[in-house]
Each structure stands twice: as C-alpha cells, then as structure tokens.
Amino acid sequence: MTFTRLVILAFVCLASIHGNANAKGRYQGPIIDMHLHAYEDDIPAALCIPWITQFPAWDTREEWNDIWIKAMVEPPCDDPIWAASPVDDALMKATIAAMEERNVIGVLSGAPDEARRWRDAAPERFLPSLEFRIGRDNRTPEEIRALLETGDFVALGEISNQYGGVAPDDERMEPFWALAEELDIPVAIHMGDGTVGTAYLAFPGAADYRAALSNPYLLEEVLIRHPRLRVSVMHYGAPLVDEMIAMLASHPQVYIDIGGMQWYYPRPFFYEHLRKFVDAGFGKRIMFGSDQGEWPGVIGPAIDIIDEAPFLTKEQKADIFYNNAARFLRFSDDEIKAHHEMAK
C-alpha cells in the first residue's frame, strides 16, 4: 500500500469517526416550536437561506417594493424554499407534515378562528396563540379577556406591534399587559428584525415599522410594573444581543425565542449571537422558533442550523429545542411524557 493510499485511508477513517460523533450528538427528542403562524395569504414567493442576502442594495431610482418582490419571485439561489399556498389547505398540510417529520409541537399564532381551525386539524401538534396588534385588530381588553378565558389559547402573541410603530411601553398596551399578568398567561412579542427594508414596502402597516423598537430596554418599565408577567421576546431583539443579555440578567422571568433568525442571517453571524447568549449563562432561557410563515419547508433547515451548532452540547440542544419552552409554558409531567412518547 502506497503512502498516498495510507493517507487517503486515514482521512476516510477520521471522516467516518467524525461523522459518527456528529450523529451521536444530534438531538432526537421532541421539539417545541414557539414561533409558528396560521396564515391565509397566497404569496407565490421563495426564500433563500440566509434570507438577508437575498435582497440587493437599493438603487433608489427604482421602487424598493419592486426590487423586494422581484427578489422573492425570482430568488437568486439554486435551492429556494417556495411558499405553500393556503388553497385546499396546502399550507396547513405542509406545515403539519414538516412537524411530523421532525417531532415538532408548535405554538401557533393567528386570528382566533384560523388558529382554532389549524388546531382542530392536528390537535396533537398545535397549541393556538392569539395574535394581536394595536391599531390593526382593534380588540378591547374585554374582548381579549373573553377569548383567553375560553382556554383555547396558550399565549397572547405574536404581539406584532413593532409593525405598527407601537413600542412595548406604549400606554395603549398597559391594559393588555395587566390582563396577561392577571390571567397568568404568557405573552410573546415581536422585537427584532423584520424583512429587509420593511418601512419602504407598499404593504398595509409596513411603513410604520421601526428598527428602534427592537430595543429590549423598551420592555423594562413594563416588567417592573408587571413583575409576574411571563414574556418571550421573539427574535431576541436581534441584532441587539448585548442589550438583550442585560435584560435577561435583570429580569429572570424573561425568555427569548430564536424566531427564524437562524435562517435570516448568515450562519456564522447567527452562531455568534447564539453562542453569546449561551456563554453569558442563559442557555436555560433560549427557545427554538422556526417562524415558518408561508414557508413550511424552512422548518427542517431551522432545526438543522441549531442541531449543527458546533459549540452546543447535546444537553444544551435539548434545552433549546424542548426543555426551556416546556418550563415557560408550564407543561405538566404527563404532557412532557406524552411529547417524548410521540417522538419515539
């Protein structure tokens, strides 16, 4: 056997050992996706991963809306993830199939009737959450109370006020924060990146989006007034990681949800964020979220990006994928046992 063949054989053996080690390190249990949507929109568009690189720099002689739409309908990558149509429930069915394949139970935000409809189609998979936005939904605190007291909804969220230009500490939100604290129901609020150039898109409400409302410090006075409020910060205030770490340290009742940032940003940049949270000691308050929207095909890659993080231990993956959300949502021992049985 020649020296060259020996070297090749050694590399093959090392690759095999490395592959087996990686396989052993992959997470095999149930996953709680804290960031699913029950949508009805028919959008013939595609995602490239990472999504942020899908959009070119803006030549302001053109309309940004036109540039954005072109990037979505003519994606500049070889393997785009295409949206699933809501027609004939294709979107819902594709979401359920992706969840079944990867052992996912999901917190599903949406309009009340639509979230319930998806739940009824797969009650073992979906936990409905009540989507809400000041100025768009125009529901009073009394109406929100009546919906939450039905027991149909595990959380109030996604609270998407950032897209309406409404800060977390806006006085209009005060009765809703008070209600969630009184009812002891968790809230999930969007704080972080939207799509590239959101404020320049010709979509309803898009012009009101402000990046400044991602700042986690805008939650501080809310938490001081309502200390028993359980809050999940969707998108973890990205990219304001240091500010979010300061808030996690100051307010131990706060959790964060990854919320699709793993496929929004290039992987090395997202890993830098995730590792920073873990290294700062907050691995027990990070929750998985895919933010699948109209693209159920993103659920698998969203999981893989976390599972392939080279710095996470198997135990840390289990916390992010399941344990932290189970604690945040206060699942019973019987519910946890049932979820693990489903994943076998």
Q: Helix, strand, or coil here: 188?
A: strand
- Quote the pLDDT of residue 329: 98
Identify how many contiguous H helices and E strands the chain contains and give both numbers.
Answer: 14, 10
pLDDT in tens, 215-272: 999 999 999 999 999 999 999 999 999 999 999 999 999 999 999 999 999 999 999 9
Q: Which amino acid is at 110?
A: G
pTM of the entire predicted model = 0.91
In this prediction, residue 8 has a pLDDT band, given cuts at 50, 70 and 90, of very low
Structure-block tokens of residue 179: 């209600």
- Quote the pLDDT of residue 85: 87
**Ranges of each domain in the chain:** 28-342
- Quote the pLDDT of residue 9: 39
Is 233:184 a contact under the CB 8 Å cutoff? no
Evaluate if residue 3 carries a pLDDT over 70: no
Beta-carbon contacts of 336 under 8 Å, excluding residues fewer than 6 positions away, are: 326
Rounded average pLDDT over 278-304: 97
ω into 123 cis (within 30 of 0): no
- Quote the pLDDT of residue 204: 79
β-bridge partners, 259: none
H-type alpha helices, 155-237: 174-183, 220-225
- Quote the pLDDT of residue 17: 40
- Quote the pLDDT of residue 39: 85
Cα distances (Å, whole numbers) of residue 4 to 7, 8, 10, 142:
5, 6, 10, 76
Residue 200: CB atoms within 10 A of its CB come to 16
Evaluate if residue 280 carries a pLDDT over 90: yes
Residue 57: CB atoms within 10 A of its CB come to 6
Is 68:201 a contact under the CB 8 Å cutoff? yes
pLDDT in tens, 30-55: 999 999 999 877 778 999 999 999 99
- Quote the pLDDT of residue 130: 97
Pairing type for strands 81-82 and 46-47 reads antiparallel
Cα 128 to the center of its chain, rounded Å: 15
- Quote the pLDDT of residue 41: 73
Residue 68: CB atoms within 10 A of its CB come to 24
pLDDT in tens, 60-70: 999 999 999 99
- Quote the pLDDT of residue 218: 98
How far apart CA 282 and CA 216 sit, in angstroms, is 16
Is 261:240 a contact under the CB 8 Å cutoff? no
Evaluate if residue 311 carries a pLDDT over 90: yes
Superfamily for domain range 28-342: Metal-dependent hydrolases (3.20.20.140)
Structure-block tokens of residue 3: 């020296």
Residue from 110, 104, 37 nearest 306 by CA: 104
Rounded average pLDDT over 120-139: 95
- What are the backbone dihedrals phi and psi of residue 222, each rounded to the nearest 5 degrees, phi first? -60, -45
Mean pLDDT, the chain, whole residue set: 92
Evaluate if residue 107 carries a pLDDT over 80: yes
